[in-house]
Amino acid sequence: MQNELVIVLDFGGQYNQLIARRVRECGVYCEVRSYKTPLDEIKKLAPKGIIFTGGPNSVYDESSPHIGKEIFGLGIPILGICYGAQLIAYTLGGKVETCTVSEYGKTETFYNKHCRLFGSDPELPASAVSWMSHTDRVTVLPEGFTAAAHTKDCPFAAFENTDRNIYAVQFHPEVNHTQYGIRMLNSFVKNICYCKGDWNMRNYAQKTIEQIREKVGNGKVLLALSGGVDSSVACALLSKAVGDQLTCVFVDHGFMRKNEADEVEEAFRDWNVKFIRADASERFISRLEGVSEPESKRKIIGEEFIRVFEEEAKKIGAVDFLVQGTIYPDVIESGTGDAAVIKSHHNVGGLPDCVDFKEIIEPLRMLFKDEVRKLGEELGLPDYLVWRQPFPGPGLAIRIIGDITREKLNILRDADLIFREEIAAAGLDRQINQYFAVLTDMRSVGVMGDGRTYDYTLALRGVTTTDFMTADFARIPYDVLEKASIRIVNEVGNINRVCYDITSKPPATIEWE
């Protein structure tokens, strides 16, 4: 059975994904589509509601995205947000003008409790803070519309036409800064679109498992497992669907963290899945010896990874399906999301296109990261895998600055483990989004016991971020850093100095190489 659907028509707003995520948090399945989606396609999708996003343009710019009036005749409830609100006003005969005072940031907003949009939620107060970001505003409402909210500078901060089921808000309900914003979206999808809320990961798992079974039949399925969240959840799903028709290849390049390769293998031991651990660590390290330039390291690891994977795939023989861990943000960002292309983002350098297979299966293609995690929990994956922090494909090779040696790898593994243990002991492991140790190529003088030392400097890095595109350094309490530093210097040989990296991204990146 099809899920109820709400679609977000994207007019170029920076929050398009966030709106869809918020609607899904209300238990309603939501997809982001281009504003150019033909009307016939929208009719076929039969959404229970349509949301227009914001966008950077002015409705009066010739090049700005517009939409035909016909969409308002479909009888489907529509909510316009920011640019979407202005577009509704403009398209239906209202007036939009440049604000004398642009509104940006948190703004006291007064809601009309007798209107349908805000009146249907009794818990919504008559005034609260909303998040505004606009330089144009609606000055004359189209015929048949009434004001639903106002601010000091904006007489029509929200408006509606209940007869035509069209609603509009100038502010951004999807942003956390808007108090009650999620309640407003929830009220729109439940009280106006009449969605019941049938979207949850239990149903998704059941439905997807059935679909995979139907598609795969008796075919052979191959999955490159990295031990990261996405490939682990994809593996759990496939294993429940097709059991021993699935083979997972885990390429151990030797740059995993301490005990990590064993932990990944252990985690999948109880699953009904053929698990191949291709131990290629010697091969990788011998190719990397003497290489210090970061991009060369990445390239060599990427190439070698593909070679090992290909060799394993050939041993398995004719493969019918290859599983990819693509998730929804990748699909949205790539626009059309052409399923036949094997993307290189997924791991170290993408997957080989010379491995023979008939079709690609992307079971997480419509899920956001937080949903992938929920699905992982639903399928019974251990917390260790579900809540794993991101780990770069090239692993510790790009956390050893300069030349890689076996000795340095061991030093870094031990130091990194201590840092992770101390972060976990302080209960910070879910608050800090990524944290790790970096072995620099700098040595300095120290004193231990009564003797002089001349040893490596270790850097610790911890960041808070939601998107990993920008990040702030994590404010780890000094006593936690101190404990980690003391333990590292005492328990790991060859380190006599520990620094904490306090640069944000930008200007730095999260990884050092």
Give the residues lining the site for ligand XMP (CB under 6 A): 347-348, 390, 392-394, 434, 468, 505, 509-511
What is the token pair recorded at 115?
Answer: 């209107």
- What is the rounded CA–CA span in Å between residue 414 and residue 434? 18
Nearest to 348 by CA among 264, 284, 289, 407: 284
Q: How far apart are CA 419 and CA 489, in angstroms?
A: 11
Q: Least separation, in Å, of the C-beta of 266 and ligand XMP?
A: 22
Q: Give the single-character DSSP code of 219.
A: -
Choose between 210 and 370: whose C-beta lies nearer to ligand XMP. 370
Q: How far is 95 from 141, CA to CA, in rounded Å?
A: 7
Nearest to 241 by CA among 201, 203, 210, 204: 210
Q: Judged by CB, which is closer to ligand XMP: 199, or 255?
A: 255
Lookup: tokens for 284: 């990788």
Q: Beta partners for 448?
A: 451
Give whichever of 6 and 323 is closer to ligand XMP, judged by the CB atom: 323
- Is residue 407 annotated as a catalytic residue, yes or no? no
Select 179 or 231, whichever has its Cβ closest to ligand XMP: 231
The string of DSSP letters for 41-65 reads: HHHHH--SEEEE---SS-TTSTTS-
CB of residue 138 vs ligand XMP: minimum separation in angstroms? 40
Cβ proximity to ligand XMP, 348 vs 355, nearer residue: 348
Ramachandran assignment for 122, one of left (phi > 0), alpha (psi -120 to 50 degrees), beta (any other): alpha
Q: Which of 160, 174, 312, 378 is catalytic?
A: 174
Residue 116's nearest CA partner among 22, 52, 193, 53 is 193
What minimum distance in Å lies between the beta carbon of 468 and ligand XMP?
A: 4
Nearer to ligand XMP, 124 or 323 (CB): 323
CB nearer to ligand XMP: give 193 or 510.
510
d(CA 328, CA 336): 12
Chain-centroid distance of CA 79 in Å reads 25
Please state the separation of Cα 195 from the chain's center in Å. Answer: 26
Q: Which two tokens stand for residue 22?
A: 């918020």
200-230 as b/e: b if 16+ CB within 10 A: bbeebbeebbeebeeebeebbbbbbbbbbbb
Instruction: Please identify which residue in the block is written with the tokens 């490596």.
Output: 456
* Minimum distance from residue 415 beta carbon to ligand XMP (Å): 17
Given the residues 134, 150, 172, 346, the one annotated as active site: 172
- Among candidate residues 30, 82, 193, 235, the one labeled active-site is 82
DSSP string, 120-173: T-TTS-SEEEEEEEEEEEEEEPPTT-EEEEE-SS-TTSEEEETTTTEEEESS-T
C-alpha torsion sign, points 203, 208, 214, 220: negative
**Residues 57, 455: Cα–Cα separation, whole Å:** 56
CB of 390 to ligand XMP, least distance (A): 4
At closest approach, how far in Å is the CB of 126 from ligand XMP?
A: 43
Q: Which is nearer to ligand XMP, 267 or 348 (CB)?
A: 348
Question: Can you spell out the DSSP letters for 242-286?
Answer: HGGGEEEEEEE-S-S-TTHHHHHHHHHHTSSSEEEEEE-HHHHHH
Tell the smallest beta-carbon distance from residue 269 to ligand XMP (Å).
Answer: 24
In the complex, what is the shortest distance from the CB of residue 391 to ligand XMP, in angstroms, rounded to a whole number?
6
Taking the complex as a whole, the smallest distance from the CB of residue 274 to ligand XMP amounts, in Å, to 24
Question: Is 82 among the catalytic positions?
Answer: yes
Indicate left, alpha or beta for 472 from its phi (over 0: left) and psi (-120 to 50: alpha): beta
Taken as a whole, the chain contains a residue count of 513
Q: Is 4 a catalytic site residue? A: no
Give the nearer residue to ligand XMP in terms of CB position, either 265 or 511. Answer: 511
As measured in angstroms, the least distance from the Cβ of 406 to ligand XMP is 22
Question: In terms of Cα–Cα distance, which of 308, 309, 301, 225 is closest to 260?
Answer: 225
Decide whether 263 or 501 has the Cβ nearer to ligand XMP: 501
Catalytic residues: 82, 172, 174
